[in-house]
Chains A and B, each alone.
Chain A
């Protein structure tokens, strides 16, 4: 199992992944930490 969440940084990549994997998107807006 991965030791961290592998965040996607790009919107198009996130949408494409979600479409292909049929999964919802967790969008996290952050400032720090």
Chain B
């Protein structure tokens, strides 16, 4: 991560502008490793400003995958705090910015759900389902959205 992802200019800019970066050398801080149930490194965790965990990802990630995972974490914070309009915007932005990453289908699903919870309009669920069928037909999130209707 250090030689590829954390040295990437886009990653540096993205992290610096959007996060408070906190790094723990887990062999020297076993108390924190135990508290956060760390089994393997690298492991990145997204916490809200009160220190509550909302998302984590384990293992090496390329710069685009890394930024997508971080974006997912931010969107999940908004979702968990029931800021559904903001969550919809953040999930949509993730899909637009990182459409080929592993988390894009999940972001389409959660974006649809956030939009529905913000608006009460069931048609947005069907739209999300159609989008998943068109762009990510092999994804588990496409299967999950099949209950929402579609083509």
A and B interact: yes
Q: Contacts A4-B12, A7-B23 given: A15-B51 contact, CB under 8 Å?
A: yes
Asked if residues A1 and B20 are in contact (CB atoms below 8 Å), the reply is: no
Query: 1/0 per position for A1-24, CB-CB distance to B under 8 A?
Result: 111111111110011011101111
Q: Which residues of B contact A29 (CB under 8 A)?
A: 24, 26, 32-33, 36, 38, 41-45
Output the nearest chain A residue to B78 by Cβ-Cβ distance.
A24
In the complex, which of the residues B1, B11, B23 has the most CB atoms of chain A within 10 Å of its own CB atom? B23
Which one of B69-77, B107-115, B137-145 contacts A? B69-77
Q: Which residues of B contact A28 (CB under 8 A)?
A: 1, 21-24, 42-45
Asked if residues A26 and B6 are in contact (CB atoms below 8 Å), the reply is: no
Q: Which residues of B contact A3 (CB under 8 A)?
A: 12
Q: Which residues of A contact B (CB under 8 A)?
A: 1-11, 14-15, 17-19, 21-33
7 CB < 8 A contacts A-B: A9-B24, A11-B22, A25-B46, A27-B36, A29-B26, A29-B38, A30-B25
